[in-house]
Amino acid sequence: MKKINIGKGALSGSEISLGFFRLADLTNKEAATLIHTALEEGIDFFDHADIYGGGKSEEIFSQAIDMNASIREKIIIQSKCGIRKGCFDFSKKHILEAVDGSLKRLKTDYLDVLLLHRPDALVEPEEVADAFTSLERSGKVRHFGVSNQNPMQIELLKKNVEQSLIINQLQLSITNTGMIDAGLNVNMEINPSIDRDGSILDYCRLKDITIQAWSPFQYGFFEGVFLNNDKFPELNKTIDNIAKQKGVPNTAIAIAWILRHPAKIQPIVGTTNPSRLKDICKASTITLSREEWYEIYRAAGNVLP
């Protein structure tokens, strides 16, 4: 598995991350098999959130990996906080309590990365800054970032937050390419030219913020996967042809398409199937050509201007 520098080189981790949105659906034995398969494939970056499985996913992870000092120093653990039932909460009190809860469930003294999980309309940057400084000084969190935020929301936080924000977790897949479409259709009176996120892709590249792509196999908003889906015949035909030429599964091509972007985007895959995970990891062994990348982009229904 290839490594990438995250943020301004604050961290170096596997270019593919394993996320645990559905880990709570597995038994401890199944979870252990999945996690150790990831480690064997070279994945050392693991993505959590305090709300995944109501906290159970973090508990299962620590049990399945048999958390201890030796294992802890070999992996990167990221978790997210800020989503509560019926609201979002970036208050200092909630952030501190959420981190303490994650640390307890994960059986670790620190998080490598803490992300704020979806924007809070009532955010007070001063409170976030106080929470981050407290967590950094106590050694409970080493690095910080955000999830699903646009440039001005990040700039608002940076008004008070002293720590570098090294990650922004955003939705991106071959069929969800809004952040790419707008940059290709500048100054055109068509739907793909609409900039819905403040040029977040270019902003993150300029600010050395690593984009993590969530739901890299999904279309729409959790409507289903596009691979082997009759709704996307041309896309699947193109992906399958390229997969055959390169001798890898179609899942590897879907991830390789994201990895090909020069922004060094880190996909977060959420499979709970060890065999599928092995197939996905083959993406790290290939590089799509410029022509192949654009061929896949066009096969998804995009028209180049």
Residues with catalytic roles: 52
Which residue matches tokens 């038994």? 27
Nearest-angstrom CA–CA distance, 250 and 262: 21
Burial class of residue 94, CB neighbours in 10 A (0-12, 13-18, 19+): buried
Q: In the chain, helix, strand, coil percent, each to 5? A: 45, 20, 35
290-299 helix and 250-259 helix, angle to the nearest 10 degrees: 110
Q: Where are the alpha helices (DSSP H) in the chain?
A: 28-41, 56-64, 69-72, 92-106, 125-138, 151-158, 178-184, 200-206, 233-246, 250-259, 274-281, 290-299
Could you tell me the CA-to-CA distances from 35 to 71, 253, 272 in Å, in that order? Answer: 12, 22, 9
Spatial contact of 98 and 119, defined as CB atoms under 8 Å apart:
no
Residue 176 gets which letter from DSSP?
A: B
